[in-house]
Amino acid sequence: MPVYHIGKLDAAECQRVMKEPRSLTKLQVLFRLKPGVTPAQIATWKETCQGMVGKIPGLLSLQSGAPLPISIPRAQGFNMGLIAVLETAEHIATYAVHPAHLE
């Protein structure tokens, strides 16, 4: 599996996500971007994704990024990844149909 750089959680976000024991669920999604997608479009997409946190019930954190250079040969054409941390597996259903996710 390729390794993706999705950024670092700052101390405040770590505390917020981990403040109480629970069974967290991580959802990993890999993308193949269309040819010609610009860095500005990627930045806008990342901002939109980040904006879902706090709008979608159960979505605690969302990070996205490109594969690390060392793992590109193993990435099988995927050039963007996303990891969403949700409170429970049941929150995936809420996330999937929420208007903020579908826009």
Tell me the fold of 11-102: Alpha-Beta Plaits (3.30.70)
pLDDT score of 57:
93
d(CA 71, CA 89): 28
pLDDT, tens digit, 9 for 90 and up, residues 24-35: 899 999 999 999
Q: Are strands 25-31 and 80-86 parallel, antiparallel or unpaired?
A: antiparallel
Q: What percentage of the chain exceeds 90 in pLDDT? A: 48
Note if the pTM is more than 0.75: no
d(CA 75, CA 97): 28
